[in-house]
Each structure stands twice: as C-alpha cells, then as structure tokens.
Amino acid sequence: MSITRKVLRMSDGTSVRTNECEKIKVNETAKTLAEDLGVDNPLMVSDQGPAPQVGDVGVVKSVNTSPKKGMRKAPVEAGVIELVRDYGVADDAHAGDWHRQVSFLAEESIDVARENGLDVGYGDFAENVTTSGINIKEMPLGTLVKVGTATVEISQIGKVCHTRCAIYYLAGDCIFPREGVFGWVVEPGEVRIGDEIRVLSLGEGEVHRALSQKPLG
C-alpha cells in the first residue's frame, strides 16, 4: 500500500497535524471477515438501500457510550454526546489517538439480528451512534458525513474479530464485524437523538488519518 503525507484543513482555517495516510481499498477489512469468522454464508445481511450518494440523509436513533472496552455500550440518558476533534466521543472508552474514534451501526442491521432471534437493542453491538435511513455500511473510506454539528470521516468498514463474542455463539453469526463502521472526528460538535446524518462527500478509498490497531499514547 502506498503512503502519502497530507494536512487536512478545517473550516475555521486550522489544520489537523500531518499524518501518514495509507492508501487502502474500500471495504478491504470487511472482505476478510467471512474467512476470519469461519462464515461462508453469513446469516445476517441488512438491506440499507441504494449505494450512498452525496446529499443522502439519515437520522440518529441513539447515542451510546461505555466506560470500559470489551463491554456493550448503553444509550446516553441525556440523549446527546460530544465529539472531540481528532479524539472521539467524550467519556467513551474507545476514544483516543487512532482512526477508530467513533463507531456507527445502522438500525437496519440491529433489526436483522432481532429477526435471527437475538434480544438486542441500541448499543448492544458497542456502536456509539445508531443510524437509520442511510446506507452507512457501503460508504467508501474517506467519505465525510455531517452528524449533528460534527463532521466525521469514515475510516474503516467492519472489524476483524479474533475471538467469538456472545452474540456469535447465540446466533452462529454476528453482523457488526461486517456492517459496523468507524470514523475519526474532523470537526467537533454534538450529536443528539433525532439529528441528521448527511453525506457531504464520497471518499476514494483514502483515509486522511494515521491508522493504528489501538489508541496511541
């Protein structure tokens, strides 16, 4: 993979520090998941509508956080979270100096899990933001979305799970490793239940943020 060096300019004229940006294929992570999970024919596949286009709009159904990693997130009682620039969700265990600062999952994905007999709800797949009405799982890497008053760049589609979670054992499959989406915070802001999530621009497979397997520092 080629590596370039870029500076991403913010709307207020400031810039995020220069990062090494890896050129990676769209959904490259997701394409390895079937083999990694041992699922030749995944049981859970959601229909989130047509391929994403600039201007597409969905809605935020829930905002969720957790104080520790490795646990389900709980819907925030106040119904609002703060996204901190180049850090992630305030008071969430997964925030930090890496590219997976905020996680998203569509309500359509959760509905498929329910149809497969799972008693799951918002935050049970450890997503920070639950969306509806927008095809988030097929957004190319580098896509910019406005969510609430914040701007997030999509930085990873899916997640390789090296251990089986409780959901996998219950259903024989888990939808988040294929349809969960991650991003990093380009512009800070608040995200509330009922806010819009809107596609500002479609990416070309390039993430403008250093990639790492875990938060640095």
pLDDT for the residue numbered 45: 77
Q: Which fold has domain 3-201?
A: M1 Pyruvate Kinase; Domain 3 (2.40.33)
For residue 102, CA distances in Å to 40, 169, 211 come to 29, 26, 14
**pLDDT tens digits, 18-29:** 333 333 333 444
Residues 6+ away with beta carbon under 8 Å from 82: 89, 90, 188, 189, 190
Are the C-beta atoms of residues 175 and 46 closer than 8 Å to each other?
yes
52-89 burial code (b ≥16 CB/10 A, e <16) = beeebebebbbbbbbeeeeebbebbeeeebbbbbbbbb
* Domain boundaries of the chain, sorted by first residue: 3-201
pLDDT for the residue numbered 113: 81
pLDDT for the residue numbered 178: 77
The low-confidence residues of the chain, meaning pLDDT below 50, are 1-12, 14-31, 33-34, 37-41, 161-173
**pLDDT tens digits, 22-77:** 333 334 444 454 455 444 445 677 889 999 999 999 999 999 999 988 788 999 99
